[in-house]
A and B are shown apart, each in its own frame.
Chain A
Amino acid sequence: MIHVRELTKSYADLRQGSFVAVDSISFDAVRGQIYGLLGPNGAGKTTALRILSTMLQPTSGQATVNGYDVLTQPALVRRQIGYVSMNTAVYDRMTAWEMVEYFGRLYGIEPDRLRDRMEAIFERLQMNEIRDLLGAKMSTGMKQKVSIARAIVHDPPVLIFDEATSGLDVLVARALHKTVAELRDQGKCIVFSTHIMREVERLCDRIAILHRGHVLAEGTLVDLADQHSEPDLEELFFRLISEHDNNVVLTN
């Protein structure tokens, strides 16, 4: 579903010439699977996912989503994905229903089908009580629900969640985890980025540990534990990151 090969993104930077946010990363995510991108802040998770959602263009390397190239076929890629990130806000001056309906229309869904689908989504995400609430009056959790509804209204094969639980309380985060797991069970291919170990352990089938634009380790949780003989994910995470930082210091 998602193939990423040696994907690199660098930004022009006055001081250093260029800043490499994502450095030649590769991974594959398939349907019916939650692929986790685990990394500290500034690891390049958001940049990588913005490239997958065609918001950014890669500097080099290739990424395809459901067979479409993110650089040369962005319009097609956007039809395959639902994208939820901390940067994709909801409109302040629109109600939950209007907002989801608006995006459904932009996807060209027939009005009758759209209404049925929205009723089902609002039911499933328990959003009926905020149906007519303006975005400005919603809590963070409510907004996140609307974002998810917006992202799945067209039933895309691929879903991308970028730090989707940041700022949510435990109850809402749990509900979100449940929704994501359900979507996986429906056969969606899901990419889920986070810096929270518990989420990864709970949700992800496969993960990549990302740090300073590099993939430090990749595989299922069991694989990783075996490879590095470290059953505790948090310990493993710290070890990999400090090893990498030490290497960088040494080579410099």
Chain B
Amino acid sequence: MMKWQNVKWIYLREVRDQLRDRRTLFTIAVLPVLLYPLLGMTFLQVAQFSREHTTPVLVLGAGSLPETPRLLDENKFDTNFSSERDAKLFDLTIEPGLPAGVTATELRAWAEQQIHDGTYDAVVYFPGEFGERLNAFRDAMKKEQRESDSKQPETTRESVPIPEPELFVNTASDKSRMARERVESVLTRWRDSIVVDNLRDRRIPSVATKPFKVVSTDVARERSRRAAVWSKILPFVVLIWALTGAFYPAIDLCAGEKERGTLETLLCSPAERSEIAWGKLLTIMTFSMATSVLNLMSMGMTGAFIASRIAVLGGEVTTKLAIGTPPPAAVVWLLLALVPLSALFSAVSLAIAAFAKSSKEGQYYLMPVLMITLPLMMLPMMPTTELDLGMSLIPVAGVMLLLQALIEGQYLEAVRFVVPVMGVTSLCCLLAMRWAIDQFNKESVLFREGEQWGLGIWLRSLIRDRRETPSLSAAVLCGVLLLLIRFFAGFMFAKPETWAGFALTTVISLVGFIAIPAVLMSILLTRSPTKTLLLRAPRFDAAAMAALLALALHPANVAMGLLVQKVYPFSSDIVEQLKAFESVINGAPGLWAVILVLAVAPAICEEIAFRGFILSGMRHMGHKWVAILVTSVFFGAAHMILQQSLTACMVGMVLGYLAIQTGSLLPCIVFHMTHNSLSMVMAIGVPKLIETYPGLSFLFSDGEAGTLYQWPAIAVGLVLGIGLLNWFRNLPYEHTKEESLQEALDHQTVQLPAKS
């Protein structure tokens, strides 16, 4: 039994220890307090710089500019087109024509060189006849106007194209990009003024270019607009810091203690592994939350300061950045959501840090953790993602979406998902904790020493040191391998369109990509393939009971499948695929063929791989149910389509249980076969059956979603199923060595007085 008193002592000690460590204090308290003001100052400096930096611009061909409107006023742009203040930011060099010795065709290369050398940030070139042609164009228009005034529209204006001025910039350079913006804004204003002149000449009011204006009104209240912006930014910042704030103390608390030799001192004390793990978890959580909150505060204050400074500077930026301070409710929600999230991050960090043998090794693991967590954090920031049941079941992302909804004030929406979000988060926390406690129990992790590793030696050791059943890592390897083969095989085969083609590819991939790899691995990596693959006769009645169990649980399973589809609806792609699949099935010569290919073959092949090889290896973990769960996750993942994976995972739990309780693969194959056959019969046979015998409708209903069981069938099936599972529970099952030890460890009583 875990004693919370001990957890408290460990927690208090670890916190004090961390507070006495200068490095920790620096990363957690000093860094955030200094970081944001520094960043803010840099930002202001850059803003200042870009406002005051003068741009050297070369204007070529100034001689061919038209007289009116005047673009250049001596060595500046005319104040009509650039404000007094902006004009000062230009450092113009004006040439009447092309530079000496450069032709118009060589100009590009020449300008490139000038910008590259940093002599100019931009080069503007007005071609030789620019002004003349422009004037000619305007004269022609004036003439047309006069002619139309005197009602003599005979002459047609010959259109001579006006040569285009060129602006040379190098967008790879920030200064040159800034120069382009500035020069373009001047030239645009200048061109607009020519347009206005032209219109005036043709007696068209300048309003004609903008007959109406679109007025866009933001109906969002100022508060909710601010909330919307903050709801995207704040959770992200808080999460990143919660993770970093958890990771570094975790490494110091576990890997660091291993290095300093104090972990062994602690482990030989009477404190239990679980007490040590919980004490450390709470410490890590404390620091994770503190880091997050401190960062938030420092960022908030710097942000407010910068915003006020920018407001003083003025300009367009102000409106863009005017998001104000986050609403106070947002901060409250944020702090509430921080608790489960930092618990999750802390538990994961703790497990990883307990696994690492040194701080250095621990640091290496931060990257993979970020690679997994970041997509989960980014997902809710995508514009199309919304809080629904499916999303709420995804760790991290669910909490972030819930938080967004709360900050935006959609309380009713949010309340509906509090239970699933918190459920998933707690489950993940507990799993990570379980893993961490296991790490503290493992001597291979505590006293891991560097060993010379070579591919050759390793492969030889795999064969030489094999045990009766596969090792845990061999089981994981097999699972990953099967998934990879399955994934790549998907690209290899074209989608078959005939039944024969479909049957062939299905059987080939089941045998070749699932059964054969597992059998080969059992022969190579274990001493007893028959024991590994559970190839022995079970109790005489176990197979029959398994068939009955499959029958009893099928209605509940179908209902569960339907529920899963409600939560995660099929995408249109998958619906297409399923339709194609259905039409292929309809081409089968009969129900027997469908059952052979989709029930018998998968039952045999998948059971060999999953309940045979993988489960046998997983059982070396010492926890029966964890072994079943992990195997089922692999089994589910192998089904590729999410909705099918989830239901397969649940069926996998029952199959794993049967395998362990009966010690034989046969009941599993029978259950699997019966289950799949029933699904086929439901889809193909039952509709016809109901047509012939309408009396059966008390069992089945035929609706839009296909043939389904009625409620009474589900309920009776469940009761029967639980009874049957109880029968299996009472079978004497064979423990692995690890499972026996674990049971003994779980039953040791702690509080006995010392024997003398």
| B457 in the interface (beta carbon within 8 A) | yes
Number of A-B contacts (CB under 8 A): 111
Min C-beta distance of A161 to chain B, whole Å: 13
Q: Given A66-B754, A90-B265, A103-B269, A72 and B451 touching (CB < 8 A)?
A: no
Closest B residue to A72 by beta carbon equals B744
Q: Are B748 and A87 in contact, CB atoms less than 8 angstroms apart? A: no
Interface positions of B from 417 to 451, Cβ below 8 Å from A: 443, 446-447, 451
Binds B, one of A37-45, A51-59, A172-180, A210-218: A51-59
Tell me whether A88 and B446 are in contact in the complex, defined as CB-CB below 8 angstroms, given that A53-B268, A102-B9 are known contacts.
no
User: Contact between A55 and B750 (Cβ–Cβ < 8 Å)?
Assistant: no
Question: B119 at interface (Cβ–Cβ under 8 A)?
Answer: no
B49 CB, min distance to chain A CBs, angstroms: 45
Contact of A76 with B by CB under 8 A: yes
Known: A55-B443, A76-B748, A76-B750. A107 touches B270 (CB 8 A): yes
**A33 interface residue (CB < 8 Å to B):** no
Q: How far is the CA of A74 from the CA of B20 in the complex (A)?
A: 33
B453 interface hit (Cβ, 8 Å): yes
The answer to whether A76 and B260 touch (CB under 8 A), given A88-B265, A88-B268, is no
Q: Is A13 an interface residue (CB 8 A)?
A: yes
- Residue A12 at the chain B interface, CB threshold 8 Å: yes
Q: B270 and A92: CB pair below 8 A?
A: no
Instruction: Determine the distance from Cα of A40 to Cα of B628 in the docked complex, in whole angstroms.
Output: 46
B734 located at the interface, meaning its Cβ lies under 8 Å from any Cβ of chain A in the complex: no
Report the minimum CB–CB distance from B505 to chain A (whole Å). Answer: 41
How long is the Cα–Cα vector from A191 to B528 in the complex, in angstroms? 42
B264 — which chain A residues lie within 8 A by C-beta?
Answer: 55, 85, 87-89
Q: Which of B35-57 contact A (CB under 8 A)?
A: none
B754 neighbours in A (Cβ, 8 Å): 66, 79-80, 156-157
Residues of the B chain whose Cβ atoms lie less than 8 Å from the Cβ of A66:
754-756
Asked if B461 and A106 make an inter-chain contact with CB atoms under 8 angstroms apart, the answer reads: no
Give the contacting residue for B741; candidates A18, A72, A89, A156; CB below 8 A: A72
Instruction: State the CA gap A135–B3 with chains docked (Å).
Output: 28
Would you call B457 and A14 a contact (CB within 8 A)? yes
Whether a CB of chain A sits under 8 angstroms from the CB of B749 is yes
CB–CB B457/A81 < 8 A: no
The reply on B535 being an interface residue by CB < 8 A is no
Q: Which residues of A contact B461 (CB under 8 A)?
A: 14-15, 17
Contact status A89-B261, CB under 8 Å:
yes
Residues on the B chain within 8 Å of A15, using CB: 452, 457, 461
Q: Of residues 727 to 756 in B, which have CB atoms within 8 Å of A's CB atoms?
A: 741, 744-745, 748-750, 752, 754-756
Across-interface contacts of A120 in B (CB, < 8 A) = none
Interface residues of A in 71-105 (CB under 8 A from B): 71-76, 78-81, 83, 85, 87-94, 98, 102-103, 105
| Given A55-B267, A108-B5, A72-B745 contact (CB < 8 Å) | yes
Q: Known contacts A67-B755, A91-B17; is A106 also within 8 Å of B6 by CB?
A: yes
Cα separation A54 to B267 with both chains bound (whole Å): 9
| A206 at interface, CB cutoff 8 A | no
- Given contacts A66-B755, A71-B741, A72-B744, whether A78 and B260 have CB atoms under 8 Å apart is no
Which residue on chain A has the smallest CB distance to residue B3? A108
Mask: chain B, 251-278; 1 = CB below 8 Å from A; 0 = not: 0000000001110110111111000000
Q: What residue in chain A is nearest B265 (Cβ atoms)?
A: A88
Chain B residue nearest to A156 in the complex (CB):
B754
A46: min CB distance to chain B, Å: 10
Instruction: Tell me the complex Cα distance, A13–B755, Å.
Output: 38
Per the 8 Å Cβ criterion, residues 556-585 of B in contact with A are none
CB-CB < 8 A to A78: which residues of B? 268-270
A150 contacts partner chain B, Cβ-Cβ < 8 Å: yes
Q: Kindly state the separation between the CA atoms of A50 and B465 in the bound complex, as whole angstroms.
A: 25
**Which residue of chain A is the closest to B19 with respect to CB atoms?**
A93
Contact between B458 and A14, CB atoms less than 8 A apart: yes
Complex Cα–Cα for A157 and B13 (A): 27
Report how many residues on chain A are interfacial, defined by Cβ distance under 8 Å: 47
With A14-B451, A17-B461, A94-B13 in contact, is A55–B262 under 8 Å at CB?
A: no
A88 touches B271 (CB 8 A): no
**Pairwise interchain contact A92-B260, C-beta atoms closer than 8 A:** yes
Interface string of B1-42 (1 = CB under 8 A from A): 001011001100100110011000000000000000000000
Contact with B along A4-21 (1 / 0, CB 8 A): 000000001111011000
* A83 proximity list for chain B (CB < 8 A): 268
Which of B260, B270, B452, B458 touches A75 (beta carbons < 8 Å)?
Answer: B270
**Shortest CB–CB separation between residue A48 and chain B, in angstroms?**
14
**Contact in complex: B21, A93 (CB < 8 Å):** yes
Q: Find B749's partner among A67, A76, A87 (CB 8 Å cutoff).
A: A76
CA distance A106 to B4 in the complex (A): 11
Instruction: Give the residues in chain B near A18, CB-CB below 8 Å.
Output: 465
User: Which chain B residues border A73 with CB–CB below 8 Å?
Assistant: 744, 748
Knowing A14-B457, A15-B452, say if A91 contacts B443 (CB, 8 Å): no
A76 to B1: give the CA distance in the assembly, Å: 12
Min Cβ gap B127→A in Å is 76
Of residues 110 through 148 on chain A, the ones whose CB sits less than 8 Å from some CB of chain B are 147
Q: Mark B585-622, 1 if CB is under 8 A from A, else 0.
A: 00000000000000000000000000000000000000
> What residues of B have a CB within 8 angstroms of the CB of A80 in the complex?
754
User: Known contacts A13-B451, A91-B17, A94-B13: does B268 contact A106 (CB below 8 Å)?
Assistant: no
Residues of A within 8 A of B443 (CB): 55-57
Which chain A residues lie closer than 8 Å to B6 at the CB level?
105-106, 108
In the bound complex, what is the Cα–Cα distance between A56 and B441 (angstroms)?
9
CB distance from B248 to the nearest CB of A (A): 16
Instruction: Please give, as numbers and ranges, the residues of chain A lying within 8 Å of B20 by CB-CB distance.
Output: 93
| Cβ–Cβ contact A76 & B752, under 8 A | yes
How far does the Cβ of B448 sit from chain A's closest Cβ, in whole Å?
Answer: 11
Q: A81 — which chain B residues lie within 8 A by C-beta?
A: 268
Tell whether B309 is near chain A: CB-to-CB under 8 Å.
no
Does B191 count as interface, using CB distance less than 8 angstroms? Answer: no
B464 contacts the other chain (Cβ, under 8 Å)? Answer: yes
Cβ-defined partner of A106 (8 Å) among B21, B269, B744: B269
Give the B-binding residues of A (Cβ under 8 A): 12-15, 17-18, 50, 53-57, 66-68, 71-76, 78-81, 83, 85, 87-94, 98, 102-103, 105-108, 147, 150, 154, 156-157
A-B contact pairs, 12 of them (CB 8 A): A14-B451, A55-B446, A56-B447, A73-B744, A74-B745, A75-B750, A76-B749, A81-B268, A93-B17, A94-B16, A102-B9, A108-B5
Other than the given A91-B17, A147-B265, 12 more pairs (CB < 8 A) read: A15-B452, A56-B447, A68-B755, A73-B748, A76-B752, A85-B264, A90-B262, A90-B265, A92-B260, A98-B13, A106-B9, A106-B270
Closest 5 pairs (CB-CB, A-B) = A89-B261, A72-B744, A93-B20, A88-B265, A73-B748
- B binding-site residues for A, Cβ under 8 Å: 3, 5-6, 9-10, 13, 16-17, 20-21, 260-262, 264-265, 267-272, 443, 446-447, 451-454, 457-458, 461, 464-465, 741, 744-745, 748-750, 752, 754-756
